[in-house]
Amino acid sequence: MGMFKRIGDIVSANLGEMADQFEDPELMLKQAIREMGESIDDATQETAKAIANQRKLARELAHNESEARNWQARAEKAVLSQDDELARKALIRKSEHDKLAVALRDQIAAAKDASQTLRRQLDGMKAKLTEAKRNLATLAARNKAAEVRKKIYTGKSNMEIEVDNSAFETFERLRSKVEQAELEADALAELQGGLVEPSADTSSVNDEIEEQLKALKQKDSASHD
């Protein structure tokens, strides 16, 4: 009964539902595949025993049917010889083999049903194992992808934000150092009586002003003409 229940459980197992119930689906599925292989080995042995028993009963049936025919022939021969006592003994032996044959036919029918059931369930287990092996890689990849997504939205994302903040802080420190160096250079030039050279931005503004002034003069000259 235990073997039949175990076989039935494995044949009817849904690997997707099994995976949803465990923290590590890939590890659980690999373990399930190993157990399925072991159960298939056990079921194969049980099926082989059932088939062997069926064939043994079939040989016993054939033997008893043959003996029944032999004793029937002896009884007929005894009747022809007018030996009624020998005929009765032969018929008694024939009857014994006939009764054994009837019992054996019932046993063979039960053994055949059992072996056929085991064969069907064994085939189902093998098909399930093939499906499990085929789907293991896909399920493992899905599990790893899910783990990556979980890390992105939990601890790993925080780590990435910290890295970005550090980069911004480094940039700000460098910019501050450059500005400080420029201010110190301007101050030294002023203290030494030199003129502070206009920065590139100031020169650009002056050039723009000169261009605008030139344009205004040209416009005024044209209006007087």
pLDDT digits (tens, 9 = 90+) for 11-52: 455 555 555 555 566 777 788 888 888 888 988 898 999 999
- Does a structural domain hold residue 57? yes
pLDDT given at position 67 = 95
Judgement on whether residues 139 and 185 belong to the same structural domain of the protein: no
- Does a structural domain hold residue 64? yes
Check if the beta carbon of residue 15 is closer than 8 Å to that of residue 28.
no
Check if the beta carbon of residue 144 is closer than 8 Å to that of residue 30.
no
Residue range 116-154, pLDDT digits in tens: 999 998 999 888 888 888 877 777 777 677 777 777 776
Give 220 or 17, the one with higher predicted confidence. Answer: 220
Q: What is the mean pLDDT of the chain?
A: 76
* CB within 8 Å of 151: residues ≥ 6 apart: 157
Judgement on whether residues 59 and 102 belong to the same structural domain of the protein: yes
pLDDT given at position 161 = 40
Mean pLDDT, rounded, for 46-71: 94
Judgement on whether residues 13 and 72 belong to the same structural domain of the protein: yes
Whole-number percent of the chain with pLDDT over 70? 64
Judgement on whether residues 126 and 46 belong to the same structural domain of the protein: yes
pLDDT given at position 182 = 73
Judgement on whether residues 95 and 148 belong to the same structural domain of the protein: yes
CA distance 153 to 109: 63
pLDDT given at position 162 = 45
CA distance 189 to 195: 7
Structural domain of residue 107, as residue ranges?
A: 2-152
Check if the beta carbon of residue 57 is closer than 8 Å to that of residue 111.
yes
Helix (H, G, I), strand (E, B) or coil at 40: helix
